């Protein structure tokens, strides 16, 4: 709050974590609106927004866990492992999407 008024909006959003904070707040309100309007149909839209909010909260939690001396080693190790495995994780996610799409096409349609 105070940092936004002291530095200005453009400089405030230049920091990645401040941008995540704003997206987290806006995503929460967007999720409330989407759950109200998409009550029965297309439940996937509000759930997808909620997944993004939860993931941003997890990354923010990891960021704050680095401030504690005991958690700092663990969180640094997790980020290092994810960074080192980024190509494998990208390939693995592509395979999951491919097989999910393939099984969706092959599965019988209940309609």
What is the number of alpha carbons within 13 Å of residue 57 lying toward its C-beta? 10
Kindly report the average pLDDT of the chain as a whole number. Answer: 84
Q: What is the mean pLDDT of residues 1-22?
A: 81
Percent residues over pLDDT 70 in the chain: 94
The pLDDT confidence band at residue 95, using thresholds 50, 70 and 90, is: very high
Q: Nearest 5 degrees, angle CA 82-CA 84-CA 88?
A: 80
pLDDT 10s digits, 41-82: 567 777 788 888 888 888 888 888 888 888 888 888 888 998
User: pTM of the prediction?
Assistant: 0.59
8-state DSSP, 110: -
Average pLDDT rounded to a whole number, residues 5-25: 83
Closest Cα to residue 14, out of 55, 22, 65? Answer: 22
């Amino acid at each position: 709050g105070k940092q936004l008024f002291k530095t200005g909006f453009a400089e405030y959003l230049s920091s990645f974590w401040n941008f995540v904070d704003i997206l987290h707040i806006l995503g929460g309100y967007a999720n409330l609106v989407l759950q109200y309007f998409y009550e029965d149909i297309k439940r996937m839209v509000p759930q997808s927004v909620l997944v993004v909010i939860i993931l941003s909260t997890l990354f923010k939690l990891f960021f704050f866990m680095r401030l504690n001396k005991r958690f700092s080693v663990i969180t640094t190790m997790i980020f290092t492992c994810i960074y080192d495995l980024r190509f494998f994780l990208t390939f693995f996610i592509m395979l999951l999407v491919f097989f999910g799409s393939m099984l969706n096409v092959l599965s019988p349609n209940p309609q």
